Chains A and B, each alone.
Chain A
Amino acid sequence: MNSMQRRLNKKMDILLERENSGPLKKKNLNRALRRALQNKLALVGLGIFLSIIILCFFAPLFTKYDPLKINIRASLQSPSAAHIFGTDTIGRDIFSRILYGGRLSILIGFGSAIGASFLGVVLGAWAGYRGGWFDFLMLRTSELFLFFPQIILCLLLVTMVGQSVGNLLGIFIFTGWCGIFRMTRARMLSLREEEYVQALKVLGVPEPIICYKHVLPNALGPVFVNITLSTAIFILQEAALSFMGLGVPLEIATWGNILNVANNLNILKVNWWIWLPVGTMISLFVLSINFIGDGLRDSTDPSQQG
C-alpha cells in the first residue's frame, strides 16, 4: 500500500467519523456508559465479578494452602478456622481449590468467549462485507451448527478428540462462533452499503483493509455484550460437561470438577461444604456476568429498555 493510499485511509476515517456518527456518536457512547453505571444490578455484578477475579488470580494472597497438597489423614474435615471451607475426600483445602480452580474455569470461559467471538467476527465481517459464495457457504455452515444442540456437539467432539483443557477450549470456540458470526454479518450487510465504503473502493483501497479497518469497528458494539454472555454460558457448559465426566480431565481442578462430587449422594447429604461453596461460586460468578451483560445490553440496545 503506498503512502497516498494510507493518507486516504486516514482521511476517510476522519470523514467517516464525522459524517457517519458525527459528534452525536460520542455523546451516545457516553450516555450508554452512564446508563450502564446507573444500572444498579450491573454495578453489583461488576463488584462481584471483580472480587471473584481478584480472589482467583491473586489466590496466593488469600490462601496459604497448595490446592494440590493432599493430606489423606485430614480428609473430609468440616469448615474450621484452619480450612474455612473444610477439606475434600483426600484432604485438600477446598477454599484454595475453589480459588485456583476458578482461574482455569474463568480462563476457559473467557478464552472460549473471546476465541469464539474473534472467529465469529473475522468470518462474519468478511462474509457480510463480501457476500457471494463465501457468504453463502458460511451462512449455511452456521445454520448447520445452530441446528446441533451445542452440548451435543461438544460431547461428540470430546469423544473424538479426547479430554483436555486445550481440547475443551478448542471445542467451545469451534461450536460457539455462530451467534456472533450472524450478528456481525448482519451489521456488515447494512454497513457495506454506506457511501464511504463505495468511496474507498473507488479509490482502490484493498478490500480486507476496508472490511476490517474501516467498516468492522462500526459493527463491534454488540460483540462486547456477547463476550460477557458467552463467558457465562461456557462456564456453565464446562460445569455440565464435568458433571457428566466428559469435561476437563477430573484430576485438574476446575469449578465443574470440584462440583462433580455432588454426584455422590452421600457427599451431597453429609459433606455439604464440598459442593455448596463451589456451587455458590459458579452461580455467583455467572450471575454477576449476567448482571453486567444485562446492564450492557440495556444501555446499548434501546429496544430492550424497560
Chain B
Amino acid sequence: MKRTTGLLIILIATCALVFGAGAKEQVTQTVQIEEEVTQMGPLNSNPLSDVRVRQAIAYAIDMDAIIEGLLPGAVAADSLTPNNEWKVAGLEAYSYNPGKAKQLLKDAGWDSAKVLDLVYYYGDQQTVDLMATVQAYLADVGIKVVPRKLEGDLNSQLWVAPKDPVNGTSAVAWDLAYAGLAVVSQYEYYNRFLSGAATNSHTPGNAELDALLDAVNKTNKVAEQKEYFGKIQQFENKYLPIIPLYYQQLFVVESDRLTRNGAGYGNEQYAYDWKIQTWDIKPNADGRKVMKANGGPLQFFEAPFVAPAIFTSQKVLFDRLIVADGGLQNFRGQLAKEYSVSADGLTISFTMKDNIYWHDGSPITAQDVKFTWELAAKVSSVNVLFSGLFKTIVGYADFNTKKTNELSGITVKDNTVTFKFASIFPNALVALSQLPPLPQKYLGTADPLQIQQSPYWQNPIGSGPYMVKEVRMNNYCVLVPFGKYHEGRGIIDEIQLYPSGESDPNLVKNALAGQLDYGWTKSLTDANALKSVAGLKVMPYDMNYTRLIYVNKFAK
C-alpha cells in the first residue's frame, strides 16, 4: 500500500503551480483533427502506435456512465490538465461513441484477435471494478483486454524507458497501464513525455512535442507558460499519448464540533497556511477541548524528506520557513520574519524571527536551516521537489562528491540565511514552504542514509504549534499546545492522533464511531460513505490529480 501510494506522491512537481478555484465551463467544439489524423498510420509494428486505435479506445469508454455508476463525485477528464486556469478551451471530449470507435478501428485495420495487457497497481475494489468496466467497454468495440494487477517492484515493470527513445523496442511488457498522476505543477504532467525522459516507457520521442516542452521549460513568464501548455494540451488531445479518465479530488472530513475560525482549506497532502493554532472545538463534558484525528505515527514519526506533510503529525509538529496558501502559490513568512527573492531569481534570503523556539525551549537558528538542506542533500530518498532545489544550489556538485563539507550556496549570517542558485529552480519557494527546518543538535550525528532510524523520530522535538506529550507507537499519540509558539498558543487543548498510513483504511470506521474530528482521504469510496454520516462534513478540494491509462506505443 505504501508503495502504490508512494508512486503517487513521487509525482510531485518542480515548478510554480496554480490551482483553479473551480471547474471552467468547457466549450465543446469539434476540432478539425479527424481528417489529418486518419491519414496517419501506425508508427511501428505496434498497432497502438496508430492514433486511430487510441482514439477508438477513448471513444469506446463511457466515462460519464462510469462516473455516475461507480465513481460518483469524480470529474471526467479530457486532458491530463484538470479544469483550472491552465486548461485550454476547445478540447475534444471523446464522448462515448462506440460506432465511431468501431469505424476508427476498422480504418486502422485492428486485429480483433489481439489481446491487450492492461496493468494496474491499486489494490482497492473500486479500481478492480473500474478495470472490469473498461474491459467490458473495450470488448464491446472489439478490443480484447485482460486486466492484470502488478506486484513486486513496480518501477522495473512500469517505467523503464527503452534504449532507443524513438524507435523502441519497448522495455516494459504492458500495453495499457492504469495509473494516477498527482503533481504540483503542469510541468510534471508533461515533462514525462520528453523523448528519452527517464520514466518514459510508453511514448516514442516526437520532435513537435519535444520542441513545445523545451520552450515551456525555458520560460518563467506565466503568460508564455500558459500559451505553450495550451499547445501541449492540444497536441495531447489530438494524438492521445495517454487516455485521460477522470480528475480526482481530495476530501477533507470534519466533525460539526470543529471550526477552523476562518482559516482556509487546501491540498492536505502538503503543508499550507491552515493556522491550526486558531482552530476551536466544542469542549468535552469535562471542559477540555480535544480534537481527534488520523495521521498519527505507526512506529515512528515520518521524516519529512519524502512526504513532507502527508501526516497530521508532520503538519502540526513543524513550522516551515515560509508557508503557502491552500493552493500552494502565495507565500508568507512562518519561521522567517521576511524573505526576499532577487530580480534574477537566483538568490533567496530569509530573515528569521527572533522569538522562535524548538519544543525543548532552545532557539531555532538560521544554521538549523542550512543544516536541514545539507542533510536533505545526503538523505537516500527525497521528494523530487527537494532534490530539484538542492541540486540547483551553488556548490552542490562539490558537496555531493564530498569535496566540500558544506553547501557553499547556503550562507548564514546572524539570523539571515541565503540560498544562492546556479540556475533557476521555479519551484524553490514551494520546496522551502514544505521542508521544515530540523534541529541540528538532535540530528547532527544521525546517519543521513538511514535517517528514519534516528531515535529523534520516536519523539521529535519540533517547531510547530503543537508538541508531543505522549506517544504509544501503533496505538495513539497525544499532542498539546506549545507554550512558546511564535504565533500564539493553540486554542485546542489536546490533539489525539490514531495511527494511520498514507491512506487510512479505518477512516470510515472511526468516523462512524464518532472518533474523528478531522481527517482527509483521496478515496471516493470512503468520501461517499462519510457523506451519509450525521455530524460530519465532507468537503472536496480540487488538486492536480488525474487518473489515466498510459498507452505503450513502442514496438514490442
User: Is A89 an interface residue, CB under 8 A from the partner?
Assistant: yes
Minimum distance in angstroms from B123 CB to a CB of chain A: 5
Q: Which stretch in B64-72, B104-112, B272-280 binds the other chain?
A: B64-72
Is B70 a contact of A265 with CB atoms below 8 Å? no
Task: Enumerate chain A residues within 8 angstroms of B131, measured Cβ to Cβ.
Answer: 251
Quick one: CB contact mask for B285-325 with A, threshold 8 Å, 1 for yes? Answer: 00000000000000000000000000000000000000000
Is B68 a contact of A90 with CB atoms below 8 Å? no
Partner of A72, one of B69, B151, B508, B532: B69
Q: Which stretch in A22-30, A202-210, A213-221, A256-264 binds the other chain?
A: A256-264
Is A266 a contact of B508 with CB atoms below 8 Å? yes
Quick one: CB contact mask for A247-288 with B, threshold 8 Å, 1 for yes? Answer: 001110000000011011110001000000000000000000
Is B70 a contact of A75 with CB atoms below 8 Å? yes
User: Is A170 an interface residue, CB under 8 A from the partner?
Assistant: no
Interface size class of B (residues with CB under 8 A): 20 to 34
User: Given A251-B147, A266-B525, A72 and B509 touching (CB < 8 A)?
Assistant: no
Partner of B70, one of A69, A72, A163, A261: A72
Minimum distance in angstroms from A155 CB to a CB of chain B: 13
Is A261 a contact of B132 with CB atoms below 8 Å? no
Partner of A73, one of B69, B132, B512: B69
Quick one: CB contact mask for B131-151 with A, threshold 8 Å, 1 for yes? Answer: 111011000000000011101
Residues 163-198 of A contacting B (Cβ, < 8 Å):
163
Residues 225-257 of B contacting A (Cβ, < 8 Å):
none
State the CA gap A90–B130 with chains docked (Å).
8
User: Is A162 an interface residue, CB under 8 A from the partner?
Assistant: yes
User: Is B128 an interface residue, CB under 8 A from the partner?
Assistant: yes
User: Given A68-B136, A90-B132, A90-B133, A265 and B529 touching (CB < 8 A)?
Assistant: yes
User: Is B528 an interface residue, CB under 8 A from the partner?
Assistant: yes
Task: Enumerate chain B residues within 8 angstroms of A48, measured Cβ to Cβ.
Answer: none
Partner of B149, one of A69, A73, A163: A163
State the CA gap A72–B532 with chains docked (Å).
22
Is B136 a contact of A70 with CB atoms below 8 Å? yes
State the CA gap A245–B148 with chains docked (Å).
14
Most chain A CB within a 10 A radius of its CB, from B62, B129, B151, B152:
B129
Closest to A71 in B: B69
Question: Knowing that A90-B70, A251-B131, A251-B149 are A-B contacts, what are 7 other residue pairs whose CB atoms are under 8 Å apart, sorted by A's residue number?
Answer: A70-B136, A72-B69, A73-B68, A90-B133, A263-B125, A264-B525, A265-B512
Q: Which residues of A are in contact with B by a Cβ distance under 8 Å?
A: 68-70, 72-76, 88-91, 159, 162-163, 245, 249-251, 260-261, 263-266, 270
A selection of 24 A-B contacts at a CB cut-off of 8 Å is: A68-B132, A72-B62, A73-B65, A73-B68, A75-B69, A89-B69, A89-B129, A90-B129, A245-B123, A250-B123, A250-B128, A250-B149, A251-B131, A251-B132, A251-B135, A261-B125, A263-B125, A264-B125, A264-B525, A265-B508, A265-B512, A266-B525, A266-B528, A270-B532
